[in-house]
Structure 1
Amino acid sequence: MYKLIEPEVAGGLGKHTQIDNSFFPPIIKKLHYEFDGWLGDDILESFPCYIMTEFLKKAIESEHLTGIIFDEVIISKSEIFLELYPDKELPFFFWAKINGEDNKDDFYITKKNGLAISERAYLLLQKYNISQADIEDLE
């Protein structure tokens, strides 16, 4: 049983992102996530990428969930963020690269470019802040 998760979008791809738009979905070689806001979720999205807090990353690694590897991400705050939340600190985030296979791994990208998670991954994510994510059963 898999679920489809649409995480909070707290910003977008920043100017230091290296992107190859000749493919769909685009291929990201270096990720820069620029925050416009943040409601506190541990998993965030900006198509076609996902980032996760260090806390969630460590939990995923300790549970040996499959279909995901982590890499560095450049994080910045936009002018909007600085105006709205001048004193807000951000935790450490990591780029969550989804490389799993359909119905085999705990994380994979569906044919419609959505993020699918296994029941095992869902049970783990529920222990963290995912209140802004839309989650539904994958048909």
Structure 2
Amino acid sequence: MKIYTSLFPPIKGEIGPKTEVNESKCKTCNSLLESNFYKKIEYVFDDWNGEDLVKGIGCYLVSDRLKRILEDKKLKGISFKEIIVTKGDYFKFKSKAYQEEIPSFFEIVIVGTSKGPDTWFKKGDICNECNKPSWAISTEGIKAMVKSQDNQDVIPRQVYRDSWNNEDAFKLEDPADPIFTENFINVLKESKVKDVTYKEAQWV
């Protein structure tokens, strides 16, 4: 089973003013205490060309069509939260839009967890108040974010196989992007989800 990270679908708009951020933070280290960054999301579309998976700041959003497919496939490690969909002032439907209205969209909430070595981010001190560590991006992490995955100098994102709970989407302890299994990526391919790039990760 291969694994992937840095899933990057198209950006079709921006986070809107009705969005509410989880602001519950540790008083000592300022770390977010909630696992999910957003309480509520509004996404303002600039255009829509039939994309079923789009990206916002700190979130992945899926159409109702793709949500139903992911649920039917019984993929593990994800849940869904409906968002507010809004059209921008100069919104346009493009030629490959498969219906006349933007469908409902949902945030993919990653609930799966696993562990890996500190390659892209280095763990710092543990906060005495919330028991969470600080994180700093490493030299390898900087290289990974600015170079192609094909560059031999880049260490791939790594996951301890014995920490994996058979989930198809999961986060590691560090603040980098979540990990997705080959099962998840194959569902995107079979569903003809457009314009999505990703990098291969590595079991250790």
Q: Does 1:78 align with 2:140?
A: no
Which of 60, 73, 76 pairs up with 2:70?
A: 60
Larger radius of gyration: 2
Match of 2:170 in 1: 108
Q: Give the match for residue 197 of structure 2.
A: 134
* Deviation (angstroms), 1:14: 0.7
CA distance in 1, matches of 2:90, 2:105: 20
Contact 1:41 1:129 (8 Å CA) reproduced:
no
Equivalent position amino acid for 1:16 in 2 = K
Aligned CA distance change for structure 1 residues 26 and 52 (closer, same or farther; 3 Å): closer
Deviation (angstroms), 1:114 = 1.7
Report the 3-state secondary structure (helix = DSSP H, G, I; strand = E; otherwise coil) of the residue aligned with 1:44.
Answer: strand
Q: TM-score, normalised by structure 2?
A: 0.59
Q: Which moved more, 1:108-117 or 1:38-47?
A: 108-117
- How many positions carry a matched residue from both structures? 137
Q: Pick one of 12, 17, 27 that aligns with 2:14.
A: 12
Runs of 4+ in structure 1 deviating by more than 6 angstroms, as ranges, are: none
Q: What RMSD, in angstroms, separates the aligned Cα atoms of the two structures?
A: 2.4
- Aligned residue runs from structure 1 range 27-46, under 5 A: 27-46=37-56
Q: Distance in 2 between matches of 1:37 and 1:29?
A: 25
Distance 2:175 2:101 in 1: 34
Aligned to 2:110: 98
Distance 2:65 2:182 in 1: 20
2:18·2:42 contact (CA, 8 Å) conserved in 1? yes
**Does 2:50 align with 1:47?**
no
Distance 1:26 1:120 in 2: 24
Report if aligned partners of 2:45, 2:88 keep a CA contact under 8 Å in 1. Answer: yes
Question: Is the CA contact 1:6–1:114 (under 8 Å) kept in the aligned structure 2?
Answer: no
RCO higher in 1 or 2 (8 Å CA, sep ≥ 6)?
A: 1
d(CA) in 2 for partners of 1:64, 1:49:
21
For 1:56, the aligned partner's letter is: L
**Quick one: distance in 2 between partners of 1:62 and 1:85?**
28
CA 1:59–1:26 in 2, change beyond 3 Å: closer, same or farther? closer
Deviation at 1:136, TM superposition (A): 2.1
